[in-house]
Structure 1
Amino acid sequence: MAPKVMKKASPGRLLKQPLRHRFFALRHGESKANVAKIIISDPKVGTKKYGLTKAGRAAVKRTGARFIKSASSRVVIVSSDFARARETAQVFAKTLRKAGLRCPVQLSTALRERRFGSLEGGSDSRYNEVWSKDRRNAAARPFGAESAKELEDVVFVVAGRGTQASSTQIFVPILISATFINVIINGPSMNVY
């Protein structure tokens, strides 16, 4: 499963100030949890285990090589500290650095995987049950999961911090899960792709 680079965000609400930078949402590469088809959202597990597979690392390198074509000389990567996102950030940054780009990586606990409550460690086929409930009520917390509304709030806080960070043009790939990307694109009442 290749990481996805999304160039255009259409959040469900507007930031208080306009964005000064270009933001990209980049999903982590294929992880060991993806292969095992399990939900890993607990930081006690996800920050230490279930990093990228060999195929996941290769896909991130290819994505980084494509990204270079549109990047400026300054790229700041903001990533979840989950192993799969952190490793994606490291591989992506290394690819960009080889091309001569400055590329610091910042880890953010705010961008951790959405907590899926009682579904933790279970089959990833149950994601659709949560997303179905999200579409009906963005504030719902099915199975004790974080709500889609809470995820939207995180996206706006992180984007707002990035906007305040510098007045120079930078590219900010944010390494996150598919659920976050859905919230960025569709707002909290997301239509899951």
Structure 2
Amino acid sequence: KVTVSVLYWQHFSMSALRHQYVVVRHGFSVPNERHLIVSSMREGQKPEYGLTAKGKAQARALGADLASKLPTLAGPRQTGEPLRVDFVVSPFTRARETADIAAAALREAAPGIVVSQRLEPRLRERDFGSLELGTDKAYPKVWAEDKAESASSSFGAEHVGSVWKRVTEVVRECEARDQRAAFVLLVAHGDTLQITQAGFSGMPLSKHRSVAHLNQAEWRLLPNPPKSKL
């Protein structure tokens, strides 16, 4: 049996990636504060679902932390070649605000780093279907279905394989669009990034909740994905 996580990496037909990929979860947001599930594109882009004051402070600290640590993690570069950091960002308000604030802090702390930003709809939050705008205490109901490897959700939630497929499409395009190595920061959401980490590690996507939890405004360097067997 071929797991979904391996299947989509087979489409890449590569054993290593040019860029170094980093997952970044958005800062503490209004939905976090209100314990709301806000997962649809329609709701997620509304201005009222952005960061709280706490989340904005977290995003500033995130930028400073990236400025101090990314240079020590960078691979070899040609003499005089600047370190490049590309923010690829979910269009949800809480992710956009996190990226904007963190990128500004990064530029201020490390003006020699070349920083770019772009929105990427495929990094949106996992859609939780009929649970939208309900309590976040309902998340475990969907995760239980994930763990059971259900083919469909009782709540109309997006399948883990669908989330993983759109993330790998983004990575593939990042690899193709620029030959110069960079850190690519995938600024997104809890479930989207848990599934991403599981896939990069070669784990079954159904076990994404066993990956260490990513806190608000936390970042984590991803490993290279497992080699294709095709």
Task: Give the TM-score normalised by the residue count of structure 2.
Answer: 0.75
Q: How many equivalent residue pairs?
A: 183
Q: 1:94 to 1:44 in 2, by over 3 A?
A: same
**Which residue of 34, 37, 40 maps to 1:36?**
34
**1:183 maps to 2:227:** no
Q: Retained in 2: the 8 A contact 1:139–1:148?
A: no
Query: What amino acid does structure 1 have at the position aligned with 2:59?
Result: V
SS class of match (2:22) = strand
**1:86 maps to 2:96:** yes
State the structure with bigger RCO (CA 8 A, min sep 6), 1 or 2.
Answer: 2
**Which residue of 16, 19, 35 maps to 2:13?**
16
Counterpart Cα distance in 2 of 1:139 and 1:106: 33
Which residue number corresponds to residue 54 of structure 2?
55
Q: Which 4+ residue blocks in structure 1 deviate beyond 3 angstroms? A: none
Q: Retained in 2: the 8 A contact 1:27–1:175?
A: yes
Offset at 1:138? 5.8
- CA distances 1:48-87 after superposition (whole Å, capped 9, x unpaired): 1310011111111112211112335211100010000010
Task: Give the TM-score normalised by the residue count of structure 1.
Answer: 0.89
**1:115 maps to 2:127:** yes
- CA distances 1:5-42 after superposition (whole Å, capped 9, x unpaired): xxxxxx93333233100000000000000000000012
Counterpart Cα distance in 2 of 1:149 and 1:139: 10
SS class of match (1:41) = coil
Counterpart Cα distance in 2 of 1:162 and 1:135: 30
Counterpart Cα distance in 2 of 1:152 and 1:142: 20
Which residue number corresponds to residue 75 of structure 1?
85
- The runs of 5 or more residues in structure 2 that have no matched partner are 72-82, 200-204, 214-230
**1:105 maps to 2:153:** no
Q: Retained in 2: the 8 A contact 1:79–1:106?
A: yes
Q: Percent identity?
A: 34
Query: What amino acid does structure 2 have at the position aligned with 1:53?
Result: T
- CA distances 1:130-164 after superposition (whole Å, capped 9, x unpaired): 11111111643330111111011011111111111
Q: Retained in 1: the 8 A contact 2:5–2:161?
A: no
SS class of match (2:191) = helix
Counterpart Cα distance in 1 of 2:133 and 2:98: 22
**1:143 maps to 2:155:** yes
Q: Retained in 1: the 8 A contact 2:125–2:190?
A: no
Counterpart Cα distance in 1 of 2:154 and 2:24: 26
